[in-house]
Structure 1
Amino acid sequence: MGECKIDHSHEDVKKKYESQMEFLPQDMSALFNNFFKEEHTQDILNEVFHLLKKYDLVTEEEKSERNNRIYLVLNNV
């Protein structure tokens, strides 16, 4: 994934999650629900946004890599 210079808001991340939710593993929903209950740094918001961006279009291998990263981030914030 390339570097993006746009800062994404809490609401941007939530909308992106909602648009990709049906493509994500079911067990992530509780992690995302907890994630959205709290405030996060801009770096975390941007990272999660970009992990979700075009998630439905990436290869299974890329999804696996993104899933691992999403779990890592959501379990540690």
Structure 2
Amino acid sequence: MKTKIELISEQIHEMWMRWAKNILKEETNISEERKQRWIKDCFKPYEALSEEMKQLDRDFAIKMISIIENKNEH
């Protein structure tokens, strides 16, 4: 069973991919190097990401959970 952080991280990654794919279509000033890196390293299911890439999503998920939990305390 996936942890709460993993479930949220997966959704964060899916949301980022949708955003990034739209950016690649609309922006003309993104370097070819960045485009290829995103396509090669990032445009894949969360489970297929490197641990380093997954950790970026986890860090963001942890930050969001912390914000929500702290907001509920006040």
Give me the TM-score of the superposition, normalised by structure 1.
Answer: 0.34
Rg comparison, structure with higher value = 2
Give me the TM-score of the superposition, normalised by structure 2.
Answer: 0.35
Q: With a CA cutoff of 8 Å and minimum separation of 6, indicate the structure with the bigger relative contact order.
A: 2
